[in-house]
C-alpha cells in the first residue's frame, strides 16, 4: 500500500461547515476521503483532456438485436479496433433491446473514435462513454 | 418491429451540408439514422430530469480490493437498495484496483442515491453514472 | 471576511504528488486554494440537484436578429418569467447573429424552464445554461 | 438569408410520437426547428473537440472583490491572452461577490487555457466555460 502523508490546509469557516455537511450526508468516512475523491476525479478529467497516457473507458450501448447483422458488425468493429477490449457484458432489457457495456483500455483518442464507430451503427440507439483511468493511488 | 413513418423537414442549406458531412464522417448509414440518435439522446436526458418513469443506469466504479470489507460493504449497499440490479461485471485492472460496472433499473432518484452511497465507500476511488433508458423505439 | 480554519488531511503519497503537479501546472497559489475550488464546485452541483435554495444561472444564447419578432418574444418571455433577471449583455458576432448572456437568480426549476422557453423560440440557434450559486464562502 | 432545403426522413412511429410531444411541451414552432437545434448543438460540440476553427466561448466567473489585486490580475490575464475578448459584464450578487461573464473568440485550446488561468486566481470561486460557435446557419 501507498505511504500516507498528512498535511494542513485552510478553509474559510463557512466552506468547512459546508464540507462537513456533505461528508455526513453522503456517508463519507472522513474529510480526507471526500477530498481524495474530488482530487482523483479532477485528475482523470485532465488526463483525458491531455491525451498523453493510456486511459480506461467504459462504453454503454443500447441496441436492438432485431437489426440485421448488428451483432456481427459490433464484433467486427471490436476486432479492428486500436484499443484493448477487456470485457463485454450484455443484458436483455426487453424483448427487443439489449444493454451492453464494453470495458476499454487505450489512448483517449482511440477510445473516442472506437465509441463513435459503434454509436453510428444502424440499430445502436444509445451510446455513452465513461472516461476513467487507473487511479494513481 | 415498429411502423416507420416518413415526413419532410426543412433545413437551411448550409446546415444540411454540415449534417451530411457529419453523417459521412461518423459513418452513419443515413441522415434519418443520425437524427434518430439525436432525438433519442435528447429524450433520455429529459426523462432523467423529469423523474416520472423508470429509467436505466450504469454505474462504473474503480476500487481497491485491499480495502478491508469493501467488497462486503458494496454487496450490502446493493442488497438494501431500492433499485433493481440487473448485472455486475468485474475486471482486474492492476494488482490493486478493480473496475466494475453495475447495471441498474429504477426511479432516477433512487439510482442517483444508490450511486452516491457506493461512491462514498472508503476505497472506491472513482464512480460515474451513465443515465440511460429503455428506448421508446 | 470569513474566519479561516486550518486542519489536517491525509493523502496517499502518489495522490499528493499528483495534486502538487496540478497546483503548479494550473497556476494555483496553494493546495488549499485548489481544494477550495473543488469543494465549491461540488457544492454548487449538489445545490442545483437538490433544488431547495435560490441559485444563479447564466444563459448564453446565439440568435439571428433577422427572425421576425424574435427580440420582441425574448423580451416577453423575460417579463413573464418567474425568475429575477439581473442583467442582459448583447454582442454582434457577425452580420446575422447575436450572442447574448442573461444572468438569472431564482429556484433551479424556474431557471431551467425559463431557459427552455428561450431556447425553443424560432431563430434561437444555440442555448446553454451555466449553473452557478452564491458561494457560501 | 440562407436557402431552405426540404427533404424526407423516416422515424419509427413511437419515436415520432415522442418527438411531437417534445416539440409541443418545449414550445417549438415545428419539428424542423427542434431538429435544427439538435443538429447545431451536435456540430458545436464536435467543432470544439476537433479544434480546427475559431470558436466562441463564454466564461462565467464568481469572485470576491475583497481579494487584494484580483481585479488587477484578471485584467492582466485578459491583456496577455491569445484570444479576442469581445465583452465583459459584471454584476454584484452580494456585498462580497461579483458575477462576471467574459465573451471570447479564438481557437478552442487558447480559450480553454485562458479560462484555466482566470479560474486559478486566488479569490475566483467559480468558473465555467460555455463552448459555443458562430452557427453555420
Q: Please give the average per-residue pLDDT across A35-42, as a whole number.
A: 93
| Nearest Cβ partner for B5 among D6, D10, D38 | D10
pLDDT over 60 (residue C1):
no
Q: Can you give the pLDDT at residue D31?
A: 95
Contact B110, B78 (CB under 8 A): no
User: Quick one: cell of C42?
Assistant: 461540488
Please give the share of chain B, as a percent, with pLDDT higher than 70: 99
Cα(B19)–Cα(B34) distance, rounded to whole angstroms? 9
Q: Is residue B59 within 8 Å of B127, Cβ to Cβ?
A: yes
Q: Point out the residue among D44, D66, D101 whose CB comes nearest to the CB of C89.
A: D101
Could you say which of C87, C120, C133 has the minimum Cβ distance to residue D27?
C120
What stretches of B42-123 adopt beta strand conformation (E)?
54-64, 84-92, 97-107
Q: What is the pLDDT of residues A70-111, one digit of tens each?
A: 888 888 898 888 999 999 999 999 988 999 999 999 999 999
* Nearest CB partner across the interface for A117, out of B27, B93, B134: B27
ipTM of predicted assembly, 2 dp: 0.88
Distance from CA of A107 to the nearest CA of B (A): 15
With 90 as the cut, is the pLDDT of residue D131 above it? yes
Mean of all residue pLDDT scores within chain B: 91
Which one of C46, C76, C81, C99 would you mutate to disrupt binding with D, by most D Cβ within 10 Å of its Cβ?
Answer: C99
Provide the whole-model pTM: 0.85
As a whole number of Å, the CA-based R_g of chain B is 20
- Answer whether residue C72 shows pLDDT above 80: yes
Q: Is the pLDDT of residue C135 over 90?
A: no
Q: What residues of B are in contact with residue D35 (Cβ under 8 Å)?
A: 9, 11, 35, 38-39
- D59-82: average pLDDT: 89
| DSSP 8-class letter at C29 | S
CA distance A18 to chain B (A): 16
Q: Residue B89 pLDDT > 70, yes or no?
A: yes
User: Which residue of chain D has the CA closest to C102?
Assistant: D101
- For chains A and B, CB pairs below 8 A equal 122
CA angle B7, B10, B15 (to 5 degrees): 130
pLDDT higher than threshold 90 for residue C66: no
pLDDT tens-digit profile of D6-47?
Answer: 999 999 999 999 999 999 988 899 999 999 999 999 999 888
Position D80 scores a pLDDT of 86
Non-local (6+) Cβ contacts of B93 within 8 A are: A56, A86, A105, A134, B62, B99
Average predicted confidence (pLDDT) for chain D? 91
pLDDT at site D71: 85
| Residue D59 cell numbers, joined | 466564461
State how far the Cα of D14 lies from the Cα of B135, in Å rounded to an integer.
10
Cα B6 off chain centre by? 29
Strands (E) across C13-132 are located at 54-64, 84-92, 97-107, 124-132
Partners of residue D10 in chain B, C-beta under 8 Å = 4-7, 32
pLDDT digits (tens, 9 = 90+) for D89-105: 999 999 889 999 999 99
C101 interaction partners in chain D (CB closer than 8 Å)? 58, 60, 89, 101, 103
Q: What is the pLDDT of residue D10?
A: 95
Measured between beta carbons, the chain D residues lying within 8 angstroms of B16 are 5, 7
Q: What distance in Å separates residue D119's CA from the closest CA in chain B? A: 24
- Give B1's pLDDT tier (boundaries 50, 70, 90): low
pLDDT confidence tier of residue B13, bands split at 50, 70 and 90 = very high
Which residues in chain D touch residue B42, judged by CB atoms under 8 angstroms apart? 22, 38
Residue C36 has pLDDT above 90, yes or no: yes
Rounded to whole angstroms, how far apart are CA atoms B112 and A34? 17
Amino acid at each position: 500500500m501507498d505511504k500516507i502523508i498528512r498535511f494542513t490546509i485552510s478553509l474559510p469557516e463557512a466552506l468547512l461547515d459546508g464540507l462537513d455537511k456533505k461528508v455526513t450526508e453522503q456517508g463519507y468516512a472522513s474529510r480526507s476521503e471526500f477530498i481524495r475523491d474530488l482530487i482523483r476525479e479532477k485528475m482523470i478529467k485532465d488526463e483525458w483532456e491531455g491525451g498523453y497516457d493510456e486511459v480506461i473507458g467504459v462504453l454503454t450501448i443500447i441496441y436492438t438485436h432485431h437489426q440485421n447483422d448488428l451483432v456481427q458488425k459490433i464484433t467486427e468493429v471490436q476486432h479492428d479496433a486500436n484499443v484493448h477490449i477487456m470485457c463485454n457484458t450484455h443484458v436483455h432489457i426487453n424483448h427487443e433491446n439489449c444493454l451492453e457495456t464494453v470495458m476499454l483500455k487505450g489512448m483517449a483518442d482511440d477510445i473516442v473514435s472506437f465509441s463513435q464507430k459503434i454509436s453510428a451503427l444502424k440499430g445502436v440507439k444509445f451510446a455513452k462513454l465513461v472516461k476513467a483511468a487507473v487511479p494513481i493511488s
